[in-house]
Amino acid sequence: MELRSKNAASLLNEKFIESYLKTFGYLRDDSEVPELEKMKNDKEILEVALKSFQEFMGISSTGRMDTASGVLMMRKRCSEKDKLTEHEKRDIWEKSVLTFNITNFPETVKESDFREILHQAFAAWEVVIPMDFVEVQEAEKADIVFSFEDPLNGWINDPTHLSIAGASDIPKARIWISQDEAWGVNNELDQTNNDLFNVLVHEIGHILGLDHSSDPNSMMYPLFERDVDQIHPEVTSNDVEKLRNLYEVVDIETDLNSELDSIQNSPSKLLGGLSSKCPLNLQAISRAPDGEFLIFNGDKVWRALNNSIVTDPVETFQVFPSGPSYVNASSTVGSSVVLISDREIYVFLQENSEFTLADGYPKMLHERVLFYPEASFVLKNGSLILLSDNVFATYDLENNVPTMLNDKTVYFPNLPDELRSGIPESSESDESDESDIYQMFTSDEVYKYDFRIQEVVDNQPLTTFFTCDL
């Protein structure tokens, strides 16, 4: 096989190319792919394999070696195959709680940093399927073992030496990560081509049953090394669909569309939603710096003072100029009102009951927050909490980064299901026990939640919490 590019020829030889294509599933033996028996010419077989690689990587599939192919073949990557035969397909778990153990840590990453990144990586999949991950102290008792390894050891079978992580199959799964990489964390992540968080999310995806994706934007894309200006991968809708299909998880969007169809065909439901002058349910709520409640539902916002609705519903952007058309979650942090619409963050400053968009906003949520926030509240120490199902992120607005991502049921047990917003019952300056009481809002109920005992102590319907004479 002739290398058609001098640049590629100077870096790769035919033996390496053949080794690469065999290692990652593009070049098969005749016994594995009977169709190859018809090709007696080795050059023809190699060109077919190279063309398959090029098609998977989304570049011109000529079957001839070129610079673009050579550049991609030199990038650090996952050790798993890109092309699988039927008997190589991964199994899936038959249980919803998986145990894991960390056998060792690299010298370049502190233990606490790695644990935090690993919890965030687990959370990326926990919001997709009902799966929980619990750490155990003994590797023998773990479903998944994490270890940092010398990539040249005997059991990592990659003659190309490009693999920096990989995952074995279940039921005793193992995720190995190269101990030779200069892994960065926190602010260093933007300065390295190989992001430890992305690698962990990718390999956990394998453990759960996902194969490699040809979409370069997907977390399951096999090449970890990226250009400096290339966007970071994410858990794509296609990844979500594949995983939910594997575990037969009902598609939330399908359920939502069914509910919307039901509402559109039911006038009585419309009366409970957006057509009423009084808010009978809500999507988000916050208390502005001047003490006024701001109640969001759909593209409308109501204003309430002393628990009494004082305005007709108006479109959100009329109250928040240059703001979003709808709000998923809202909180007041200090003197600022924070609105989140899908993955956009808006911060507004209030002056004389008028709201002005703060400089530099809107901003996109940091890529580490892989979920769409469905609820939010602010702790007494000023920390903004973003939630989706049982996952939460503590978010640093000033630096626009999450500082922790973990399980809501562990850190905030007994919160109401389908939470939308949380507001302290007393002012920030109140140092009494009452300052630990929060009003936790679902779409149509208001719960009193005591942070001291982490229990709901009272509840009432939204329609009695607010009076409305409009």
Q: Which CATH class is domain 94-246?
A: alpha beta
Helix axes 42-57, 14-23, angle to 10 degrees: 60
The per-residue pLDDT string of the chain (470 residues; one tens digit each, 9 = 90 and over) reads 444 344 444 457 888 999 999 999 999 865 555 555 555 567 888 999 999 999 999 999 999 999 999 999 999 999 999 999 888 888 999 998 899 999 998 888 888 889 888 988 998 898 889 888 999 999 999 999 999 988 777 667 788 999 999 999 898 899 999 988 888 665 444 445 578 899 999 999 999 999 999 999 999 999 998 776 667 788 988 999 999 999 988 654 444 444 434 434 433 333 333 335 788 899 999 999 999 999 999 889 999 999 999 998 999 989 999 999 889 999 999 999 999 998 899 999 998 889 999 999 999 998 888 888 999 999 988 899 999 888 899 999 999 999 888 888 889 999 999 999 999 987 654 455 556 899 999 999 999 999 999 999 999 999 999 998 76
**What number of CA atoms fall less than 13 Å from residue 10's CA on the CB side?**
3
- Residue 276's identity, in one-letter code, is S
Contact between residue 162 and residue 75 where contact means Cβ atoms under 8 Å apart:
yes
- Contacts of residue 157, Cβ cutoff 8 Å, sequence gap at least 6: 23, 79
The DSSP element (H or E) to which 258 belongs, if any, is helix 252-264
Three-state DSSP state, 401: strand
Return the H-helix or E-strand segment holding 304.
strand 300-305
Cα–Cα distances in Å, from 305 out to 294, 298, 308, 468?
A: 9, 21, 5, 11
DSSP per-residue codes, 130-177: S-EEEE-S-GGG-SEEEEEE-TTSTTS--TT--EEEEEPPSSSEEEEE
CATH architecture of residue range(s) 268-465: 4 Propeller (2.110)
C-beta separation of 44 from 34 below 8 A:
no
Residue ranges of domains in the chain: 6-74, 94-246, 268-465
Q: What is the four-CA torsion angle of 428, 430, 435, 440, rounded to 10 degrees?
A: -40
Measure the CA–CA gap between 266 and 264, rounded to whole angstroms. Answer: 6
Closest CA to 421 of 304, 284, 287: 284
